């Protein structure tokens, strides 16, 4: 099927934290103009915030072209200047003509890319140990739950630009506590027992919160690099809460930590060969990480080399890593309903990669037929025609694709795209449903149209015929329900409560504007509640303790 591709806001990793690093200006050989330290500092900041996501910290190329001095000096100042000024149809933004960079900034950026790249510092065991702090030692922590909180129905909500999380009670909607975490905090994950909440900031700071304390607080913290996006814990039976793992964008590495103290135990660099070309890549970033339920392993997505590591944590001294050739630009993903298969997007390649976590092998690589799949953890449900499926929406077009996930009962459809149909528009980030729910929710957070990014599409699962006709959807006016009129709030990431009766959406506005969380009744699709509070600054991801602990989505 053809799907309308849509313009969308850019959604590439930006390396905000590296932009704060003070790096020394390199000298320039004859024929290349040097920059003053002040110009170099400004150029570095612009480069890490706007360019490094596509071109790489070391400028070796990723989704954007390589910009190493051997290439850029060949191209010359005039060529580079007009490329930065006007952009290209291949995806380079028109930084100059759009007014995002001033003429002076375009000038220094053209000169900057002709200089040697500035290399941010490494972050080995020495630095990890320096930043590691056990605030409450395990022996001083409670041996049972000391508060009257309904932990199973607690939500950890990312307050992105505040560098905090809000712990919100799923029954009363009361904000129980706000906790300071890392900068531009990104995701929360639960330990297998439901006791420890792990939160990671983009500054690679991991905070471990003990939910059993009378007043749940951070009990251990560490900085695992200078830029990061993912954290996870060991989920295998017999290994619950034993280990934690965090993956970094810079330096490109992941670290296994003690699950009770966050003591760093083993750092693995991801630098190495790209899976298909088998050429060296100096900065393969770590994207999604998942704790396997079938083996004592962490499943680690390595973006630029297109490899998935299955890291066996039973013996860290004799570490066994299964390295799977998958596809380049691995990003996010989740498990199927049986928890046996990990399905993940190689987003810039338009593909889904399926790993059999029981056998430890690659099961399939499938084209979604859409532009830039972005599933979050995906959504599992029983399709009336195709049986168990897993859904993803797309950033680059309006399509929702369903992949068959039942190789035993529906072998013909396993790991094939069985249906694809339009939702509200491009710029979608997350899909959501719940076991037993009849609804599939699809957001359109980054759609340029304010009305679309303010709404959510809902499909009736029992009306999906699978006969080629596109299922109809209902549009929920989430921002209108929140009664917020200033700014351009975007609706992002549905998350269910513990028993699957309500789904919560964030209304994500500017830092100085009002935001909210809108709670929808899953049966009636009616507004149930709006959570508003001046402490709810830029709420984005929401992680229900039970659902996050058990990978229910």
Residues catalogued as catalytic: 51, 54-55, 92, 331, 374
Residue 541 CB, shortest distance to ligand DHE, in Å, is 3
Residue 303 CB, shortest distance to ligand DHE, in Å, is 8
Q: What's the CA gap between 141 and 150, in Å, rounded?
A: 19
50 binds ligand DHE (CB under 6 A): no
Query: Which range touches ligand DHE (CB under 6 A), out of 97-105, 285-293, 384-392, 417-425?
Result: 285-293
Nearer to ligand DHE, 59 or 186 (CB): 186
541 binds ligand DHE (CB under 6 A): yes
Return the ∠ at Cα 231 (arms to 230 and 232), rounded to 5°.
Answer: 130
The answer to whether 344 and 352 have CB atoms below 8 angstroms apart is yes
Q: What's the CA gap between 369 and 398, in Å, rounded?
A: 11
Q: How far is CA 98 from the centre of its chain?
A: 28
Query: Which range touches ligand DHE (CB under 6 A), out of 115-123, 228-236, 343-351, 420-428?
Result: 228-236
331 binds ligand DHE (CB under 6 A): yes
Q: Kindly tell me which residue out of 195, 229, 349, 439 binds ligand DHE, with binding defined by CB under 6 A.
A: 229
332 binds ligand DHE (CB under 6 A): yes
Burial class (CB in 10 A: 0-12, 13-18, 19+), 34: middle
Residue 120 CB, shortest distance to ligand DHE, in Å, is 15
Nearer to ligand DHE, 386 or 430 (CB): 430
Q: What's the CA gap between 299 and 482, in Å, rounded?
A: 38
Rounded to the nearest 5°, which phi and psi values hold at 400? -115, 125
Alpha-helical (H) ranges within 147-238 are: none
Closest CA to 457 of 419, 503, 500, 411: 503
Q: What's the CA gap between 500 and 168, in Å, rounded?
A: 16
Cα atoms in the 13 Å half-sphere on the side-chain side of 302: 29
Nearer to ligand DHE, 230 or 366 (CB): 230
187 binds ligand DHE (CB under 6 A): yes
Residues whose CB falls within 8 Å of the CB of residue 465, separated by 6 or more in sequence, listed in order? 384, 385, 471
Nearer to ligand DHE, 106 or 228 (CB): 228
Size of the site for ligand DHE (CB under 6 A): 23
Q: Kindly tell me which residue out of 5, 11, 28, 49 binds ligand DHE, with binding defined by CB under 6 A.
A: 11
Residue 334 CB, shortest distance to ligand DHE, in Å, is 7
Orientation angle between helical segments 37-46 and 103-112, nearest 10 degrees: 90
The answer to whether 389 and 329 have CB atoms below 8 angstroms apart is no
Q: What's the CA gap between 333 and 351, in Å, rounded?
A: 12
427 binds ligand DHE (CB under 6 A): no
**Mask for 13-32, x = binds ligand DHE (CB under 6 A):** xx------------------
Rounded to the nearest 5°, which phi and psi values hold at 55? -95, -10
376 binds ligand DHE (CB under 6 A): yes
Residue 338 CB, shortest distance to ligand DHE, in Å, is 19
Closest CA to 168 of 535, 527, 552: 535
547 binds ligand DHE (CB under 6 A): no
The answer to whether 71 and 77 have CB atoms below 8 angstroms apart is no
287 binds ligand DHE (CB under 6 A): yes
Query: Which range touches ligand DHE (CB under 6 A), out of 7-15, 89-97, 104-112, 167-175?
Result: 7-15
Element (H, E) at 79: helix 77-86
186 binds ligand DHE (CB under 6 A): yes
Nearer to ligand DHE, 429 or 456 (CB): 429
Query: Which range touches ligand DHE (CB under 6 A), out of 112-120, 287-295, 360-368, 411-419?
Result: 287-295
Residues that bind ligand DHE in the complex, under the rule CB under 6 A? 11, 13-14, 158, 160, 186-187, 202, 229-230, 232, 287-289, 331-332, 376-377, 429, 492-493, 540-541
């Amino acid at each position: 099927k053809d799907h309308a591709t849509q313009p969308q806001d850019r959604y590439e990793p930006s390396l905000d934290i590296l932009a704060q690093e003070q790096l020394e200006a390199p000298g320039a050989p004859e024929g290349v103009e040097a920059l003053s330290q002040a110009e170099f500092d400004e150029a570095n900041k612009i480069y890490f915030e706007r360019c490094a996501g596509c071109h790489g910290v070391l400028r070796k190329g990723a989704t954007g072209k390589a910009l190493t001095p051997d290439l850029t000096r060949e191209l010359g100042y005039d060529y580079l200047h007009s490329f930065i000024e006007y952009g290209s149809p291949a995806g380079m933004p028109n930084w100059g003509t759009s007014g995002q960079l001033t003429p002076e900034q375009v000038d220094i950026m053209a000169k900057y890319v002709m200089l040697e790249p500035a290399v941010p510092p490494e972050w080995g065991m020495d630095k990890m140990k320096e930043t590691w702090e056990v605030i409450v030692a395990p022996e001083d922590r409670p041996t049972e739950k000391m508060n009257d909180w309904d932990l199973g129905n607690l939500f950890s909500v990312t307050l992105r630009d505040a560098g905090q999380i809000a712990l919100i009670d799923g029954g009363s909607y009361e904000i129980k506590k706000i906790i300071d975490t890392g900068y531009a905090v990104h995701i929360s994950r639960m330990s297998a027992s439901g006791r420890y909440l792990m939160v990671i900031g983009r500054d690679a700071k991991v905070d471990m919160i003990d939910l059993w304390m009378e007043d749940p607080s951070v009990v251990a913290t560490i900085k695992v690099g200078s830029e990061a996006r993912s954290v996870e814990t060991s989920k295998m039976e017999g290994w619950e809460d034993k280990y934690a793992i965090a993956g970094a964008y810079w330096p490109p590495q992941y670290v296994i930590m003690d699950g009770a103290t966050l003591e760093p135990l083993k750092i693995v660099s991801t630098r190495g060969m790209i899976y298909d070309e088998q050429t060296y890549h100096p900065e393969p970033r770590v994207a999604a990480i998942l704790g396997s339920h079938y083996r004592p392993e962490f499943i680690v997505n390595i973006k630029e080399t297109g490899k998935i590591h299955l890291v066996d944590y039973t013996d860290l001294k004799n570490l066994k890593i299964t390295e799977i050739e998958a596809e380049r630009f691995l990003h996010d993903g989740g498990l199927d309903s049986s928890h046996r298969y990990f399905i993940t997007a190689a987003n810039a390649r338009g593909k889904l990669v399926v790993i059999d976590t029981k056998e430890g092998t690659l099961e399939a690589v499938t084209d979604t037929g859409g532009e830039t799949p972005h599933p979050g953890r995906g959504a599992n449900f029983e399709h009336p025609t195709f049986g168990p499926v897993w859904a993803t929406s797309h950033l680059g077009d309006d399509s929702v694709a369903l992949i068959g996930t039942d190789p035993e009962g529906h072998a013909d459809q396993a790991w094939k795209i069985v249906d694809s149909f339009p939702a509200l528009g491009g710029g979608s980030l997350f899909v959501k449903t719940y076991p037993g729910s009849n609804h599939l929710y699809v957001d359109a957070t980054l759609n340029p149209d304010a009305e679309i990014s303010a709404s959510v599409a809902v499909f009736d699962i029992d009306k999906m015929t699978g006969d080629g006709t596109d299922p109809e959807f209902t549009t929920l006016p989430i921002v209108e329900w929140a009664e917020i009129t200033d700014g351009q709030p975007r609706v992002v990431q549905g998350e269910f409560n513990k028993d699957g009766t309500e789904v919560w959406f964030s209304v994500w506005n500017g830092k100085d504007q009002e935001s909210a969380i809108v709670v929808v009744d899953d049966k009636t699709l009616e507004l149930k509640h709006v959570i508003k509070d001046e402490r709810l600054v830029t709420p984005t991801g929401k992680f229900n303790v039970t659902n996050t602990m058990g990978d229910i989505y």
